[in-house]
Amino acid sequence: MNKTGKVLIIDDDEDILSAGRLLLKQHLAFVETTPNPDRIPALLGAESYDVILLDMNFAKGATAGQEGFAWLRKILDLDPAAVVVLITAYGDVDLAVRAVKEGASDFVLKPWQNEKLLATLNAALSLRRSRDEALALQGRQHVLSADLDQPFRDVIGDSPAMEAVFTLVRKVAATEANVLILGENGTGKELVAREIHRRSPRAGEAFIAVDMSALPETLFESELFGHVKGAFTDARDSRAGRFEAAGGGTLFLDEIGNLSLPLQAKILTVLESRQVFRVGSNKPTPIDIRLISATNMPLTEMVAQHRFRQDLLYRVNTVEIRLPPLRQRAGDIRLLVEYYLGQFGRKYQKPGLAVSPAAFDRLRAYSWPGNVRELQHAVERAVIMGESRVLEPKDFFFGSEAEVPPPGAAGDLNIENMERLLVEGAIRKHQGNISRAANALGLSRAALYRRMAKHGL
> Is the peptide bond between 111 and the residue preceding it cis, with omega within 30 degrees of 0?
yes
Q: What element of type H or E holds 370?
A: none
Residue 400 has pLDDT above 50, yes or no: no
Local structure of residue 94 (DSSP, 8 states)? H
Q: Is residue 336 within 8 Å of 156, Cβ to Cβ?
A: yes
Q: Give me the amino acid identity at 419.
A: E
- Reduced to 3 states (helix: H, G, I; strand: E, B; else coil), residue 32 is strand
For residue 274, the model assigns a pLDDT of 94
Q: Give me the amino acid identity at 181.
A: I
> At residue 85, what are phi and psi to the nearest 5 degrees?
-110, 125
First to last CA, the chain: 66
For residue 152, the model assigns a pLDDT of 41
Residue 124 has pLDDT above 80, yes or no: yes
Angle at 99 between CA 96 and CA 103, to 5 degrees: 140
Distance from C-alpha of 379 to C-alpha of 350, rounded to nearest angstrom: 13
Distance from C-alpha of 276 to C-alpha of 43, rounded to nearest angstrom: 22
Distance from C-alpha of 215 to C-alpha of 313, rounded to nearest angstrom: 20
Distance from C-alpha of 111 to C-alpha of 123, rounded to nearest angstrom: 20
For residue 323, the model assigns a pLDDT of 96
pLDDT tens digit string along 167-205? 999 999 999 999 999 999 899 999 999 999 999 999 989
Distance from C-alpha of 171 to C-alpha of 200, rounded to nearest angstrom: 10
- The model carries a pTM of 0.59
Alpha helical stretches, state H, 177-230 = 189-198, 220-225
Q: Is residue 11 within 8 Å of 40, Cβ to Cβ?
A: no
Query: CA-based Rg of the chain, rounded to a whole angstrom?
Result: 30
Alpha-carbon distances of 49 from 18, 124, 148, rounded to whole Å? 19, 11, 34
Please, which pLDDT band fits residue 337 given cuts at 50, 70 and 90? very high
Q: Is residue 50 within 8 Å of 6, Cβ to Cβ?
A: yes
Residue 61 has pLDDT above 70, yes or no: no
Q: Give me the amino acid identity at 65.
A: G
Please, which pLDDT band fits residue 238 given cuts at 50, 70 and 90? confident
Distance from C-alpha of 371 to C-alpha of 281, rounded to nearest angstrom: 43
Tell which phi-psi region holds residue 302, choosing left (phi > 0), alpha (psi between -120 and 50) or beta: alpha
Please, which pLDDT band fits residue 264 given cuts at 50, 70 and 90? very high
Q: Which of 210, 243, 216, 241 is nearest to 227 (CA)?
A: 241
Please, which pLDDT band fits residue 29 given cuts at 50, 70 and 90? confident
Local structure of residue 387 (DSSP, 8 states)? -
Q: Is residue 99 within 8 Å of 251, Cβ to Cβ?
A: no
Q: In the predicted model, what is the mean pLDDT of residues 243-267?
A: 94
Distance from C-alpha of 368 to C-alpha of 186, rounded to nearest angstrom: 10
For residue 399, the model assigns a pLDDT of 55
pLDDT tens digit string along 338-362? 999 999 999 999 999 999 999 999 9
Distance from C-alpha of 327 to C-alpha of 161, rounded to nearest angstrom: 11
Residue 153 has pLDDT above 60, yes or no: no
Q: Identify the weakest region by mean pLDDT among 92-106, 158-172, 370-384.
A: 92-106
Residue 403 has pLDDT above 50, yes or no: no
Rounded to 10°, the helix 66-78/93-101 angle is 30
Q: What element of type H or E holds 444?
A: none
Distance from C-alpha of 66 to C-alpha of 133, rounded to nearest angstrom: 32
Please give the residue that has the higher pLDDT: either 156 or 443: 156
Residue 336 has pLDDT above 50, yes or no: yes
For residue 112, the model assigns a pLDDT of 86
CB atoms inside a 10 Å sphere around CB 5: 21
Q: Is residue 430 within 8 Å of 455, Cβ to Cβ?
A: no
Q: Is residue 364 within 8 Å of 336, Cβ to Cβ?
A: no
Distance from C-alpha of 97 to C-alpha of 193, rounded to nearest angstrom: 54
For the chain, domains (ranges, CATH) are 6-132 (3.40.50.2300), 150-322 (3.40.50.300), 329-398 (1.10.8.60), 399-457 (1.10.10)
For residue 411, the model assigns a pLDDT of 46
Residues with Cβ within 8 Å of 116's Cβ and at least 6 positions away in sequence, in order, are 108
Distance from C-alpha of 179 to C-alpha of 315, rounded to nearest angstrom: 9
For residue 435, the model assigns a pLDDT of 75
CA dihedral (196, 202, 203, 209) positive or negative: negative
The DSSP code sequence of 261-317 is: HHHHHHHHHHHHHTEEE-BT---EEE---EEEEEESS-HHHHHHTTSS-HHHHHHH-
Please, which pLDDT band fits residue 414 given cuts at 50, 70 and 90? low
Q: Which of 374, 301, 360, 350 is nearest to 330 (CA)?
A: 360
